[in-house]
Amino acid sequence: MQRGILETRFSAGIAPAGTGLTLKGLAVPYGKPAQIGSFEECFSPYALRSACQGQDILALQDHDMSKVLGRTRSGTLALHDQPDGLHFTLALPDTERGRDVYALAQRGDLGGVSIGFSDPVDEWNGRERRVIHSARLHEISIISGHPAYGETFVEPRSRPGENEVDLQTQRARKIEIMRLSWGF
């Protein structure tokens, strides 16, 4: 892969996270393959660890640099690198755009999360399978289209007193419904 070329990847399932204009979700699942054109790709665990170590990462709407929703530098976007993937919490702005994104998430109308990255350290198994061991993350985007990584999700932040197990159960049900409806 050429260095400096920005690549984007989509993932599914966005929903609001309770009171306030906050979203949370899984931006990149680790170890879960996705079909990208003519090849299969997956990120190895902690492939995006550097994104959690002081880089200024943007949160955008549909990869549009004029539609900034938050960023790590200001603390409105927080990234959490965990064994299953790169998780995020996004405090949306109290603007028309922020309220619209939150309302679409509440209704389940958003397509998922996408990332923009470059400079991957990757490994190819023939021309059919790519494993990304590390990459430079530039941005995550809340998107309205269809995702490449079906395991990703965005949801409203948990309401006070809401049981985390209930959220995990709801998330698993949504993923299963998507898999069944899309024939995966």
Bridging pattern class, strands 153-156 and 22-29: antiparallel
Residue 126: is it exposed, middle or buried by C-beta count within 10 angstroms (0-12/13-18/19+)? exposed
The pLDDT of 74-99, averaged and rounded, is: 94
- Do the Cβ atoms of 36 and 122 come closer than 8 Å? no
pLDDT tens profile 34-65: 888 889 999 999 999 988 888 899 999 988 99
Write down the pLDDT at residue 1: 43
Local confidence band at 97 (pLDDT 50, 70, 90 cut-offs): very high
**Residue 142, pLDDT above cutoff 60:** yes
Mean pLDDT computed over 117-134: 92
Residue 141 pLDDT:
92
Residue 59, beta-bridge partner list: 70, 140
Give residue 161's pLDDT: 39
Q: What confidence tier does 7 reach under pLDDT thresholds 50, 70, 90?
A: low
Please write the tens of the pLDDT for every residue from 103-125: 888 888 888 888 999 989 999 99
Length of the chain: 184
| pLDDT: which is higher, 123 or 170 | 123
Closest to 154 in 3D by CA, of 117, 101, 118: 101
Amino acid 40: pLDDT: 92
